[in-house]
Amino acid sequence: MTYEAVIAALADPTRRAILEALRDGPRSVTDLADDMPVSRPAVSQHLAVLRGANLVSEERDGTRRMYQANAEGLEQLRRYLERFWGDALASFAAEAKKAKRKKR
């Protein structure tokens, strides 16, 4: 899974809200839909996208499927952002060194 899939999945505010709701622990589609401004089938579709991005996992509990946040799914995005942040800090440090040399 790549960070692009995670970014695409999190681009939708409803999917972000679902992921936030799952931070508190596993929930069923029905439980999630009760707190969302969309229908239960729409929540199921959003969960499929989140599963595809490895942000959510599911487990059967009797006749229900329970969904939970998968923090490991954010790993690719975290690594991408750390690389970006590291590059930005290196550029800032290089500019600071140039400015310091100019003052001399």
Q: Exposed (0-12), middle (13-18) or buried (19+): which is 67, by Cβ within 10 Å?
A: buried
- Can you give the pLDDT at residue 49? 97
Domains of the chain as residue ranges with CATH: 3-103 (1.10.10.10)
Note the residue count of the chain.
104
How far is the C-alpha of 11 from the C-alpha of 16, rounded, in Å?
Answer: 8
Over its length of 104 residues, how does the chain's per-residue pLDDT go in tens digits? 578 889 999 999 999 999 999 999 999 999 999 999 999 999 999 999 999 999 999 999 889 999 999 988 888 888 888 887 777 778 878 888 888 788 77
pTM here is 0.77
